Amino acid sequence: MLVNCLNIIVGVFWLLLHYIRLDYLGDIPLSQVVYYWIAFGVMNFFLYYGLTQLNTENDYLNTLTHQATIDPLTQLKNYAVFKTDFTKKFGEFHSSKKPLAMIALDIDYFKRVNDQYGHLAGNKILIGVGKLLIGAVHDLPDAHCYRVGGEEFNVLLPNISLEQASQFSHDLQAKIRQATFQISENQNIKITVSMGVSTLHASDKTQNLFYERTDQMLYHSKGEGRDHVTVDTELTKSSTTGFGNPVSSTQN
């Protein structure tokens, strides 16, 4: 539509020049007007076609990027992006010394949900948890959420202290516990989550040490009966595992 309008405007412009006969332009023959009009139309067509192709390719690349980086179910970043971001933040910590906290989160008894209500119900739970995570980090511009496994999630909290991360985790746990998830037209259920919270230490020479410590906090929560948040306090060190002393709570 825009192309046709431009062609008409340019055509009218050249016709006006032909009939007005401005002194400094001289006489412009009608054949020359038609030639310029056609030349502009052809040029305009190829320009429009080229831009359309570029936009199509750009949309395609954006779609591929989205598919490669975003979990289609929860709309959270996927494990591949988590690994990239985790590596970047780990490097930034050792150069800037700014704090970095991480949360490992697991939906309690998720297999029971799938077995009892079906996988479609399980998917609705995952979608709901994803929305709650996105909402929870909305006011933390540097924070990012990831779905790293079936019912497993990670949250990276740059520039957040361990105490702040602990409070954030307890608040998030309470929101999930209080939420109602609709799994069918006439049925709603509630769920709980287990969490592990840790902060990056200067002594963490590799990413695995930090990741495994956070994971250890999560498994401690599960071992305590689930629906727990376990925070690495770094008050003591274990000579065999190198993990901080975990403190577990259900803080309602």
Q: Which residues are catalytic?
A: 151
| Beta-strand runs (E) in the chain | 100-107, 144-147, 152-158, 181-184, 187-189, 193-199, 229-237, 244-249
Cα–Cα distance for residue pair 197/165, rounded to 1 Å? 7
The CA distance from 74 to 156, in Å, is 17
Nearby residues of 212 by Cβ (< 8 Å), 6 or more positions away: 243
Q: Residue 109, by phi and psi: left (phi above 0), alpha (psi -120 to 50) or beta? A: left
| Nearest to 247, CA basis, from 211, 196, 203, 194 | 196
Give the Cα separation of 53 and 59 in Å (integer).
10
Give CA separation, 226 vs 114, 151, 175, 230, in Å.
Answer: 18, 14, 16, 10
